[in-house]
Amino acid sequence: MRAWQVIDKQRLELAEVPDPVPGEGELLVRVQACGVCRTDLHVLDHDLPVHRSHVVPGHEAVGVVEAAPPSSIHAEGDVVGVPWLRHTCGVCRDCRAGRENLCRRSRYTGWDADGGYAELLTVPADYAYPWPAGLDPVESAPLLCAGIIGYRALRRAEVPDGGTLGIYGFGGSAHLTAQVALARGIRVHAMTRAVDSQRLALELGCASAQGAADPPPEPLDAAILFAPAGELVPVALEALAPGGTLAVAGIHLSEIPPLDYQRHVFHEKQLRSVEANTRDDGRELLELAGRIGLRATVARVPFDEADRALDDLRADLVTGAEVLVL
């Protein structure tokens, strides 16, 4: 089969490799589409440490099951989604408490194991999502990470229904999160440096769109930082109303500058991180997507141009999300 492999830092190469063989309890999936996520870029650029030599990135994959274990809820011919979270131990304190996203023995698709920038992949059956009828594989592939992480970040931000939410950075995850927030009657303000992303935010129904470091037009009950820019943490904290919460959604963040207690932290403001997701997050988000018509704004990219897609993402040339189409 053909697959894109991370050869070394910032170098992706298309190669002919053997078809993967599913292990015990795993599905073999023929990929139809795979979203291009900023985490793939962090794997390629070694912002995340190398976990697997020559790894195939990609963790927003939708495809058709070609082989399944007898005991699986999935069967040959089913359409499934293959997400970032691939394995948790199930027995540690966090797993038993419903916080499997914090499992220290967790493993991830496209980082610890080969992912969806390939014609075929394997996935533990218990970690694949049944694909809801009516969700287009290409238009909805970004839900599998961008959507799920944004959904968890929105929960972590604790924005009240009818409240105000600031979104810093307006890419693949943010434009999906904005739709979920708007469906809850939340007033959303987008802070992003890209003019096309500002335009998209307004088209989706955001109340305002301005530069990444610009103050929103009103105090924020909550904010989510999607841009991997630590310098925006004090900016977002200062924009919060008393008692507000800032959730940082990225897996990687540049250095945070010093915070001034009175300006940034006082008045019981909260700063929270977001780490991965649970399978329940994914199930809830996919069910919600069908109910509210959640869709990604996507640019379809031929499979042979995955390297170009990641270069565009690195250069902030992407509005919405890119999806590789096989």
- β-pairing, 79-82 vs 129-130, is antiparallel
Residue-wise DSSP of 262-292:
IIIITTT-EEEE-----HHHHHHHHHHHHHH
pLDDT band at 306 (very low <50, low <70, confident <90, very high): very high
pLDDT band at 288 (very low <50, low <70, confident <90, very high): very high
Mean pLDDT of the chain: 96
Contact 247, 221 (CB under 8 A): no
Domain ranges in the chain are 2-143+276-325, 147-273
pLDDT of residue 134: 87
- Distance (Å, whole) CA 321 – CA 326: 16
Angle at 18 between CA 13 and CA 21, to 5 degrees: 125
In this predicted model, what pLDDT tens digit does every residue of 146-196 receive, in sequence order? 999 999 999 999 999 899 999 999 999 999 999 999 999 999 999 999 999
pLDDT > 90? residue 71: no
Q: Which residue has the tokens 């900016």?
A: 235
- Report field, pTM of the whole predicted structure over 0.85: yes
Angle at 284 between CA 153 and CA 243, to 5 degrees: 30
- Distance (Å, whole) CA 323 – CA 156: 27
% the chain with pLDDT above 90: 97
Residue 190's CB is within 10 A of a number of other CB atoms, namely: 26
- Distance (Å, whole) CA 253 – CA 276: 14
Long-range CB contacts (within 8 A, 24+) of 300-305 = 300/138, 300/325, 301/36, 301/325, 303/2, 303/117, 304/14
Number of H helices and E strands in the chain, helices first, is: 9, 17
| Three-state DSSP state, 35 | strand
Residue 67's CB is within 10 A of a number of other CB atoms, namely: 15
Structure tokens, 35:
């979203």
2-143+276-325 fold: Quinone Oxidoreductase; Chain A, domain 1 (3.90.180)
In this predicted model, what pLDDT tens digit does every residue of 75-97 receive, in sequence order? 999 999 999 999 999 999 999 99
In this predicted model, what pLDDT tens digit does every residue of 122-137 receive, in sequence order? 999 999 999 999 899 9
pLDDT > 90? residue 242: yes
Q: Which residue has the tokens 């099951």?
A: 65
Does 1.10.287.130 match the CATH number of domain 147-273?
A: no
| Closest residue by Cα to residue 224 from 297, 180, 179, 274 | 274
pLDDT of residue 250: 87
Contact 20, 28 (CB under 8 A): yes
